[in-house]
Each structure stands twice: as structure tokens, then as C-alpha cells.
Amino acid sequence: MPLYDILHDTVYRYDSAVMLSQQIAHLRPRDAAGQHCLSHSLTIAPEAARRVERTDFFGNPVTGFSLYAPHDTLAVHARTRVHVEPALWPAAADSPAWEAARDHLRDGLSGHAPLQADARDAGQYRFASPFVPLGDESLRYADYALQSFTPERPMVEALLALSARIHADFQFDPAATSVATPVAEVFDRRRGVCQDFSHLMIACLRALGLAARYVSGYLLTEPPPGQPRLIGADASHAWVAAWCPGLGWVDVDPTNDVQPDTGHITLAWGRDYGDVCPLRGVILGGGGHSAEVAVTVIPVDEMAAHDDQAAGADGHAPE
Amino acid sequence: MSEVTKTGATPYDEMYTADGAVRPHYRPYAQWLEEVPRALIERKRSEADIAFHRVGITFNVYGAEGGKERLIPFDLLPRIIPGHEWSELERGLAQRVRALNAFLADIYHDQEILRAGRIPADQILSNAQFRPEMKGVKVPGGLYSMIAGIDLVRAAGADGSGEFFVLEDNLRVPSGVSYMLENRKMMMRLFPDLFSRYHVQPVEHYPDLLLETLRAVAPAGVVDPTVVVLTPGAYNSAYFEHSFLAQQMGVELVEGQDMFVQDDVLYMRTTQGPRRVDVIYRRIDDDFLDPLAFRADSMLGVPGLMRAYQAGHVTLANAVGTGVADDKSIYPYVPEMVRFYLGEEPVLNNVPTWMLREKDDLAYVLEHLPELVVKEVHGAGGYGMLVGPASTRAEIEDFRQRILAAPEKYIAQPTLSLSSCPTFVEAGIAPRHIDLRPFVLSGGKQVRMVPGGLTRVALKEGSLVVNSSQGGGTKDTWVVD
């Protein structure tokens, strides 16, 4: 059973002093099927004047904190130990036809059939949201998705097919987009990062009348053979979960065209990135700023080796 | 906002019966009108214009060329409602607002009405005004829309009687109450003798009622709550009203930058240092309230306000997320809410409404476009609508394409033959279409309102739209014993 230590460090440097800062962090992993958070600490420097732990409306743990003393650097260090079990995804071919998911949601949500609790919950993720507007673009997304969602095709099979096409048709290019790039532009330019591909896939699924949510988390990356794991070389990751009656939520990662397994660690989920971004805040003062984010996912059995190596690199090797 | 429409049928006239006789409640006025020389009325009219300019009662029109502010035309001929009619309206309005508040409390907690299948869940979940952030948040008294503006119109029945219908509920930040108050002041000043001929029920105590309402919804345990009015600033179309109400209530008028949140408690900056704020009568939209929770680019709100609100340390009036209940897509279900939550039959009826998301309704509406009014479900202020009888064939065809592209975005209603009221125009006195917006206050266990409300009038002959943003005017509204 994989056990991971996750280091997630964010450092903001401001050109001039920030007088007041209020931040919301989605950095503590929620418990999910096959995943359990064993320990979590969040170190804030300078120390926050106030800190509140709560749960947001999608059930994600949230840490809110405020700083009232002037500061020109803000560092947030998250240290998390999480236990992940292998995923038990249903056999793709055995899942119900995708139209069953669409109809179950449509009939329940439109009042033509009794509303089941599962559809009511999934319904939250069925419609346009701030980062996934549908509007006039809806038809284009639906057209694209329908090439994979052929009539009567098993839901999970269609989902994986769509993921594979996005993976093939779109190029991973961190320089092409920013947080603010609209889905429609990603669709036209055929490039982007995990956040873009996830939003795009969500748009495609919702355009078909399906429920899809945005999952924020981490991905375990394997260093090249024979080379040590580099600290801070990883990044936050994002993927998609789609809802299917009887099966519940089925995760798929269009950026890597895989179904998440023990290498994917879930942080939080919501309608889109805006609901779950790892750190967001409002500051007073500061002028310009730079941000550095470093994420490392370390399997715990590697930890001992990593500690030795890190200590050696710093020149503080034990006697 | 609302719009007035007409068809070939004779509209109900507030002053005259169909055979030209003056209705009993207008008789003293008609007699007075015969006695006074027309020149005097002309003189009073220019006096009124000057006075309104001096007081500075203005209204910004978005997108208008030229000056930013302008006067809302004020008509000197009052709209008179007999007391017994008003009692019935009052009963219906209180009932409706109770049901709407119960609906909002339900939608943000157990969602019984969705589970019971009385309202389709997609009408709520797909609505951008539905705020997940409000799920499970406890608000004082379970009240969401403490200040509601309910738009009423009167349509002629086949028997010549006039029945009131609810055209629209405004549960977010309804405006216009300052005109109601200023219109009354103006009428009393210009025509004191008229008020000796009638017993007109007073409206001047509205600011007192409003303040009582706001104090009644303060967070639990607060003994002497501090109330403020939150405005987006001087460029907002209703800025006059914000400052007017703050001044009338004797409370501070603040902008977002005047306040800050510390330890989940809201403070305003004063010359004596920070002062805790308990209740905000906010006149800015949800999206702009808190850049931390909603639009990050908002400069109008207060970072952390939502957290203070969720923690129960400050009350927002109206609550966040009330827009989900006054949307045109939810409007058709309000009578059902009255039955579901109160176990009563609605006193006030809705205008019959076709929902174009339903196949049968869509087919009917597409066949009858030239007779109908079609509205965008999420539109407001008279923008984005088709008034069939007043549109050219090309306009109708253009709108048909828009409907076909996304039928669920529209509802349609018959073009009611709406009531008219005699109005001073260039050529003398002529009938013009009117509506009525009473302001309904809910605080503690009570639902209260001052008699009448704001009467809006479409000043152009045959015009269908009374919105201030579309060039409508106003009248003083008298409820008489």
C-alpha cells in the first residue's frame, strides 16, 4: 500500500510591504475512496495572526488565514502524509450505456422522474460554472465529445476514449496558456496544461448532459532511471471525474490518458479550478510580486535515502 | 424590472369606468381638477422640476449619451387605490414574500421542495444566482429577502373589472423607494389642499420601518446593532437612493473600502477608530461583495466579508443568493411555493407563463410570437425581450432564431391589457400605462409594508415599458380610506 510524503511549498515575494493579507488554502487532502490523510501540517511564515480550519461546500477541508503585520515575503509550507490504495475502477465494457447517465440526470433534475439523492449531488456538477462556461460553444464541445460518445457505448469506455483523444489531439505546453485562458481558446489552439485539458473535458461532458467535476491533486512522477528524485520538480496536478449511475464517480486523467491509480493523490474537488485552487487570497499593498511553487511527492520507502542525500547536499552530513 | 403591454382590448382605467364615469375614489380629485385653472397646474409642474433638481433626485442611465444623471419624470396626477383593494393586496404580498423566504431557506438547507418534485432541480442547479457558498449557512430569523419589491400590474377582465397580477419579484436589491417618498413630499408641498379632500394613508415612516427591520435581523445576542448602508459608490444608478436612505435612517453610508474584516468580524473605519458593524443594508450585487469569495477583481466589496457572514458575525440584507428565487425561470413556481410552504392558496396570481423549455409550450409560443411577450429568463431591466405586438416582422423573425438556439433561456407571457391612469402630457391629460412596486419588509416575525408603493408610468403614448432605465416616469401613489 503506497504511502507518500508530499511537500508543497509556495513563496510569494512582494516588491513592497503587504499590510494585510487574507488567504484561503485547499492544501489538506480530503479523504476519498481508497485515500486517507495520516498527517498534515501547514507552516505559514510570517506566522498568521489568525487561522481557521473548516470544510467548504463541496466537503473539502479548507484553511483560512490572515496576516495583519507588514511583510514582504509570504511562505506557505504544506507537509502531508497520505495513504493511497490501488483504485478499483469498474471494467470499462461492463458500465452502463452513457445515455443512461445523461437520462438519469435529465429526468431527475427536470422533474420528469423522482429526484434521487445521487442525482441531486451529481447535479451540482452538471451545469456551466465560472471556469467552464458553455453558452454558444456548447455545440462545438458536444460535437467533439460525440465522436467518442457513440450511441449506447458503455460510459467508462466512452470516457476513456474521450480522454485518449484529448491526449492525442492536444499538446502539453506550459507556455501556451495561463490560469485565465478560456476553455474555448484552449479548444481552438489545441495546447495547454492539465488544468486546461481538465476544463475542456468537463466542458465536453457537461455539453452532453453529463456531470463532471474537477479534481485537484498531485501526481507521482518517476525520475529517469538511475537518477535521484529531484525535490520540487513535481507540480500540482488536475484531472476529471465523471458520474455514472450505479458506479458513482469515475476518475480519468486526460493529460496523461490514464485512469488515476496509486500515483494520483486527491486534494479537493469542485465544479472547476476556481472552487479548489490550492492558494488564493487578497492582499493590501505589495506592488508587484513573484510566486514560486515547489511540489514534491515522495514514496515513504524512499524517504530514508532522500534524507541522507539532502543532508549530504547541504554539507551537514552526520558524522 | 417590469414592462407594460397592451393589446386591442380596452385597458382598465384607474380613474374612469368603461362608460366614462369617474370611479368613486377619484371623484374628489376630478372635482378638484375642474376647479383649478390649468395654468396653475402648469406652474406647479415647473416648480416640481426645479425642486427635484435642487434635491438632486436623479437616476443614472447606463449606456446613455450625454449627462450621467437625469431626472426621472414625475407626473402630478396621483394614482389612487381604494383602501379595501389595498388590504387584499397587502395580504397577498405578505403571503408571497413569506413563501419566497421559506423557499430560499429550504433551497440552501434541506431542499425539500426539490425532493418532493414540486420544482425541477435543474432550475436551481443551473442557475448562476444559486450560491453553493450559502449551503447550510444559518441566517437570522431564517430570512433572506428582508427588503422585497414586488411588481404588480392590473389587467382588464372580460367583465370590465381589473385584477392585479404579480409580474415579477425583486429579491436582491430592489430600488425606487426613495422616489415613492420624495413623490409624496412633493405632492404635499405642491397641492396641500388636495390632501384635505382625501385621507391619504401615510408612507413617510418607511425609513423607520426599514431601520426596525434591519435591527431585527442583527446577529443573535447583539443588543444595540450598528447598521450601515453599503453602496458601490457615486457612479451607481441608484446612488441617490443609497445616500437618501442612509440619511433618513440616521446610519452611515459606506463603501467597501471603508470597512475591513479582522478575526471574522467586520469593522468600519471611523475617526474614533474601528467600529464593529452588525448589519449591512447592501446595495451591491453578490458578485462584488467579497473578492475572496466571489469575483476576485471586485474593488467594491470587503475581503473576508463572506467568512464573517458565514460565521454569523454580521447580517447581510438582503442575504447572498436570493437571486435564485426572483429569476424568471423560478417565477412560474411561486404559487406552488405558497401551497407547499404555507399550505395556503395564493391570494395574488401570476401572469400565465409559458416555459419554452417545455416542448408543448415552445411549439405554442413559436406559433403565436406576434401576440406574446418573450423574455430572457436571466434578463432584467427590460433588456433582451420581445414585445410581439410592438415589433416588426423582421424583429420577430430575428427573435425566433434566438429562441430556437436556446429555448430554455426564455419564457413567454400573453400581452395583457394593462391598466392605464390619466397622466399630464404635452396635449393635456391622457391615459398612460402604469404598474406598481410595493416594498415589502420582513424582520423578526413580521412582514410589513407602507401602503402603496412606487407607481411607474410609461410616458410615451402606447408605450409598453415603464422601467426608469427605459425612460419611464413615476406618480405618487395614494391608498385612501
Give chain B's contact residues with A (Cβ, < 8 Å): 111, 114-115, 117, 119-122, 125-126, 128, 132-133, 135-136, 260-264, 291-292, 296, 303-304, 307, 357, 405
pLDDT digits (tens, 9 = 90+) for B299-347: 788 999 999 999 999 999 999 999 999 988 899 999 999 999 999 999 9
Mutate to test the interface with A, among B292, B320, B355, B359 (most CBs of A within 10 A): B292
DSSP symbol at B73:
P
Q: State residue B64's pLDDT score.
A: 45
- The yes-or-no verdict on residue A315 having pLDDT over 80 is no
* Position B2 pLDDT exceeds 50: no
Q: What is the dihedral of CA B296, B300, B306, B309, to 10 degrees?
A: 180
Burial of B274 (0-12, 13-18, 19+ CB in 10 A): middle
Neighbours of A31 (CB within 10 A): 13
Please give the pLDDT value at position B234: 87
Identify the DSSP state of A26: -
Across chain B, what does the average pLDDT equal? 89
Judging contacts by C-beta atoms under 8 Å, the chain B residues touching residue A49 are 263
Report the C-alpha gap between B319 and A245 in whole angstroms: 35
Among A63, A112, A120, A179, which would you mutate to test the B interface (most chain B Cβ atoms within 10 Å of its Cβ)? Answer: A120
| Region of poorest pLDDT, from A221-225, B52-56, B137-141 | B52-56
Q: Which residue of B has its CA nearest to A121?
A: B125
C-alpha cell at position B2: 417590469
Q: Please, which pLDDT band fits residue B470 given cuts at 50, 70 and 90?
A: low
Q: Could you give the percent of chain A with pLDDT greater than 70?
A: 94
- Nearest CB to A111; choose among B117, B303, B405: B117
pLDDT > 90? residue B468: no
pLDDT digit string, tens, across residues B213-242: 999 999 999 999 999 999 999 888 888 899
CA atoms within 13 A on the CB side of B44: 18
Chain A residues 92-151 within an 8 A CB cutoff of chain B: 106, 108-112, 114-115, 119-120, 123-124, 126-128, 136
pLDDT at A10 > cutoff 70: yes
pLDDT at A309 over 50: no
3-state secondary structure of B265: strand
**By C-alpha distance, which of B64, B67, B36, B312 is closest to B192?**
B36
Q: What was the pLDDT predicted at B289?
A: 93
Range B451-473 average pLDDT: 78
Q: Would you state the pLDDT for residue B67?
A: 45
Smallest Cβ–Cβ distance between A57 and the set B121, B135, B263 belongs to B135
- The span from the CA of A158 to the CA of A166, in Å, is 12
Across the interface, whether the CB atoms of B292 and A281 are under 8 A apart is answered yes
Q: Is A55 near chain B, with CB under 8 Å?
A: no
Task: Kindly state the percentage of chain B with pLDDT values over 70.
Answer: 91
pTM listed for this prediction = 0.84
Binary contact (A66, B115; C-beta < 8 A): no
For residue B38, is pLDDT > 80? yes
> What domains are there in chain A, each with its CATH number?
3-85+277-314 (2.60.40.2250), 92-260 (3.10.620.30)
Mutant choice from B107, B114, B376 vs A, greatest count of A C-beta within 10 A: B114
pLDDT for A307 equals 53
Packing angle, helices B239-249 and B177-190, rounded to 10: 70
- Give B163's strand partners: B155
Query: Per-residue confidence at A46, pLDDT binned at 50, 70, 90?
Result: very high
Q: Which of B135, B304, B405 sits opposite A22 (nearest CB)?
A: B304
Confidence bin at B471 (pLDDT 50/70/90): low
Q: In chain A, which residues have their Cβ closer than 8 Å to the Cβ of B357?
A: 110
Cβ–Cβ of A52/B114 closer than 8 Å? no
Percent over 90 (pLDDT), chain B: 65
pLDDT band at B425 (very low <50, low <70, confident <90, very high): confident
Residues paired with B386 in a beta bridge: B374
- Asked if B132's CB is within 8 angstroms of A109's CB, the reply is no
d(CA A269, CA A57): 10
**pLDDT, tens only, A80-138:** 999 999 988 888 888 999 999 999 999 888 877 787 888 888 999 999 999 999 888 89
- By mean pLDDT, which of A165-169, B426-430, B465-469 is the weakest? B465-469
Does A52 sit within 8 Å of B264, measured CB to CB? yes
Q: What pLDDT, on a 0 to 100 scale, did the predictor assign at position B8?
A: 45
pLDDT for residue B380 is more than 60: no
Confirm if A100 and B113 have CB atoms less than 8 A apart.
no
Q: Which pLDDT does position A319 carry in this prediction?
A: 34
The pLDDT of residue A214 is above 90 = yes
ipTM of this model? 0.71
- Chain A residues touching residue B109 (CB < 8 angstroms): none
Query: Number of H helices and number of E strands within chain B?
Result: 14, 23
Q: Which amino acid is at B72?
A: I
Q: Name the pairing type of β-strands B265-270 and B259-262.
A: antiparallel
